[in-house]
């Protein structure tokens, strides 16, 4: 087919690129904390005494608890379910906004940064109080606070986009083990504060009336429950090429279409999420498409294991936004077909596909490509090996016009995703893609 921008799409009015809800949520959480801080300064709340320090510690813990929630699988699924309930007859702008539920991670960043900054303030005021020998503050509680703030600052530093991208395993390990360390030391601190209140009240009364104690109970529960669902499951791996592997899992319940699940060869680190794809006709379980995109995936493809670890529950992905629209155009490049595949194979609303990839049959196997072509007979499958590198934006615009779709979901690398989402949004078309928040 000819690659040219359709007049219909080009005629749509251009507007400014929308500010990502992810950023809005992050800045919003930070702004609320700035207001609380400013009110405290005006009211002279923040003083180096035991009462003020406990309030600051509680505010920090509230933020850290708030940061944990958007990373809970069940909460992400709940937010997605609520956001995608409205009818496709609702106004487009409302559905467009609701479809960006997956930006909830911005609240996680805002809460984590705010909680860390409050803890820095806590330590800054704790130091002079400890030096003055104020009651309710001892050497151990001061040492615990110092270690906690160092761990929190380290987690934040290793979560910087550049470090997270280049050293994903280090980022993951720092988040997991650092968070566990902070949680453990939080318990130590809560117990110390309760002990230091004696003989004003009994140890049990001090704990039961402490907001910090109950926040730690909730934080611990949220941290533990995914690991209670930790399982080692058998898999079979088909390697149609040295670039891709098809993983088949037949044990356990079959995840819903549109969900992802993290797998690992080691239960303690190296977790990587992949889309859950329904099994082929006549087969049981579900599949995952693993493509070579780094050391972990390369080792997985070259030396496939007989088992993998799973934990938590499957989590909905960006493509679930399709529920808010009558017809969606999926644009994928390379292994981006994986997250869209379940939707494409089961969609009943007339989805359309643009798939740009190198030699699809040689890379992903005849069976998978045959499935795609059967489910999407009008799909545009662009073979870069024989057709060269296309203008993905032009392909997208023409396919969008031809298909009669009212939204675009793209799964590609960061530059292509940003370009397609930005350009389509400027033309008044709802467009969604990954935000690399994990």
With both helix axes pointing from N to C terminus, report the angle between 211-228 and 168-196 in degrees, rounded to the nearest 10: 140
Express each pLDDT in 243-287 by its tens digit: 999 999 998 889 999 899 999 999 988 899 999 999 988 889 999
8 A C-beta contact, residue 15 and residue 426: yes
With both helix axes pointing from N to C terminus, report the angle between 139-158 and 168-196 in degrees, rounded to the nearest 10: 160
Reported as a pLDDT band with limits 50, 70 and 90, residue 5 is: very low
8 A C-beta contact, residue 292 and residue 244: yes
Express each pLDDT in 219-247 by its tens digit: 999 999 999 999 999 999 999 999 999 99
8 A C-beta contact, residue 250 and residue 95: no
Instruction: Scan for tokens 């870069």, then name that residue.
Output: 384
Residue 218 CB: number of other CB atoms within 10 A?
Answer: 13
Reported as a pLDDT band with limits 50, 70 and 90, residue 198 is: low
Gap between the Cα atoms of 53 and 121, Å rounded: 9
For the cut 50, the answer to whether the pLDDT of residue 14 exceeds it is no
Reported as a pLDDT band with limits 50, 70 and 90, residue 185 is: very high
Helix, strand, or coil here: 265?
coil
Phi, psi values for residue 2, rounded to 5°: -70, 145
Q: Long-range contacts: 422-427, Cβ < 8 Å, 24+? A: 422/17, 423/393, 424/396, 424/397, 424/400, 425/15, 425/17, 425/18, 426/14, 426/15, 426/16, 426/17, 427/9, 427/10, 427/12, 427/13, 427/14
Helix, strand, or coil here: 300?
helix
Express each pLDDT in 89-98 by its tens digit: 999 999 999 9
Reported as a pLDDT band with limits 50, 70 and 90, residue 204 is: confident
The confidence score (pLDDT) of residue 393 equals: 95
The confidence score (pLDDT) of residue 11 equals: 35
162 contacts: CB under 8 Å, gap ≥ 6: none
The H-or-E segment that residue 245 falls in is: strand 244-249
For the cut 90, the answer to whether the pLDDT of residue 203 exceeds it is no
Give the angle 215-216-219 at the CA atoms, nearest 5°. Answer: 85
The confidence score (pLDDT) of residue 166 equals: 83
Short-list 350, 333, 354, 271, CA closest to 73: 271
8 A C-beta contact, residue 254 and residue 285: yes
The confidence score (pLDDT) of residue 7 equals: 30
Q: How far is CA 317 from CA 212, 354, 390, in A?
A: 33, 19, 27
Percent of the chain whose pLDDT exceeds 70:
94
For the cut 80, the answer to whether the pLDDT of residue 349 exceeds it is no
Interval 37-50 mean pLDDT: 89
Alpha carbons within 13 angstroms on the beta-carbon side of residue 74 total: 7
| Class of the CATH domain delimited by 231-311 | mainly beta
Short-list 123, 126, 72, 79, CA closest to 99: 79
Burial class (CB in 10 A: 0-12, 13-18, 19+), 71: buried
Q: What token pair was written down for 190?
A: 């809560």
Q: What token pair was written down for 28?
A: 């919003």
Whether the full predicted model's pTM is greater than 0.85, yes or no, is yes
The confidence score (pLDDT) of residue 183 equals: 93
Express each pLDDT in 114-144 by its tens digit: 999 999 999 999 888 777 767 667 788 889 9
Reported as a pLDDT band with limits 50, 70 and 90, residue 65 is: very high
Express each pLDDT in 359-379 by its tens digit: 999 999 999 999 999 999 999
| Class of the CATH domain delimited by 7-12+319-432 | alpha beta
Helix, strand, or coil here: 349?
coil
8 A C-beta contact, residue 297 and residue 283: no
Phi, psi values for residue 273, rounded to 5°: -85, 140
Express each pLDDT in 153-179 by its tens digit: 999 999 988 888 888 888 888 999 999
Express each pLDDT in 382-438 by its tens digit: 999 999 999 999 999 999 999 999 999 999 999 999 999 999 999 999 999 998 775
The confidence score (pLDDT) of residue 69 equals: 92
Interval 333-352 mean pLDDT: 87
8 A C-beta contact, residue 240 and residue 246: yes
Phi, psi values for residue 221, rounded to 5°: -60, -45
Express each pLDDT in 314-332 by its tens digit: 999 899 999 999 999 999 9
Gap between the Cα atoms of 436 and 438, Å rounded: 6
């Amino acid at each position: 087919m000819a690659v040219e921008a359709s007049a219909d799409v080009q005629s749509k009015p251009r507007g400014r690129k929308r500010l990502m809800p992810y950023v809005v949520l992050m800045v919003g959480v930070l702004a609320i904390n700035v207001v609380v801080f400013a009110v405290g300064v005006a009211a002279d709340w923040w003083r180096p005494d035991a009462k003020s320090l406990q309030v600051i510690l509680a505010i920090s813990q509230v933020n850290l608890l708030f940061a944990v929630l958007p990373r809970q699988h069940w909460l992400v699924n709940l937010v997605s379910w609520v956001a995608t309930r409205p009818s496709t007859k609702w106004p487009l702008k409302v559905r467009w906004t609701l479809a960006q539920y997956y930006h909830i991670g911005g609240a996680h960043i805002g809460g984590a940064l705010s909680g860390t900054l409050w803890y820095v303030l806590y330590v800054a005021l704790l130091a002079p109080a400890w030096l003055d020998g104020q009651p309710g503050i001892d050497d151990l509680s001061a040492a615990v606070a110092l270690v906690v703030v160092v761990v929190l600052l380290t987690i934040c530093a290793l979560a910087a986009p550049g470090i997270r991208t280049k050293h994903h395993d280090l980022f993951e390990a720092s988040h997991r083990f650092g968070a566990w360390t902070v949680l453990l030391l939080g318990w130590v601190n809560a117990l110390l504060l309760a002990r230091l209140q004696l003989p004003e009240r009994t140890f049990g009364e001090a704990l039961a009336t402490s907001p910090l104690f109950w926040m730690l109970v909730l934080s611990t529960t949220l941290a533990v429950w995914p690991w209670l669902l930790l399982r080692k499951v058998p898999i079979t791996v088909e390697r149609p090429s040295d670039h891709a592997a098809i993983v088949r899992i037949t044990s356990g319940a079959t995840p819903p279409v549109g969900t992802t699940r993290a797998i690992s060869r080691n239960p303690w680190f190296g977790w990587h999420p992949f889309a859950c794809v329904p099994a082929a006709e006549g087969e049981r379980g579900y599949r995952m498409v693993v493509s070579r995109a780094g050391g972990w995936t390369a080792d997985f493809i070259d030396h496939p294991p007989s088992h993998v670890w799973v934990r938590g529950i499957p989590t909905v992905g960006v493509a679930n936004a399709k529920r808010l629209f009558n017809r969606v155009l999926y644009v994928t490049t390379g292994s981006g077909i994986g997250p869209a595949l379940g939707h494409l194979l089961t969609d009943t609303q007339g989805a359309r596909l643009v798939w740009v990839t190198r030699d699809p049959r040689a890379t992903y196997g005849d069976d998978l490509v045959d499935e795609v072509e059967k489910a999407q007979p009008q799909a545009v499958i662009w073979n870069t090996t024989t057709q060269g590198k296309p203008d993905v934006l032009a392909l997208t615009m023409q396919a969008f016009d031809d298909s009669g779709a009212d939204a675009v979901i793209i799964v590609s690398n960061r530059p292509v995703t940003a370009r397609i989402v930005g350009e389509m949004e400027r033309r008044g078309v709802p467009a969604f893609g990954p935000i690399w928040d994990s």
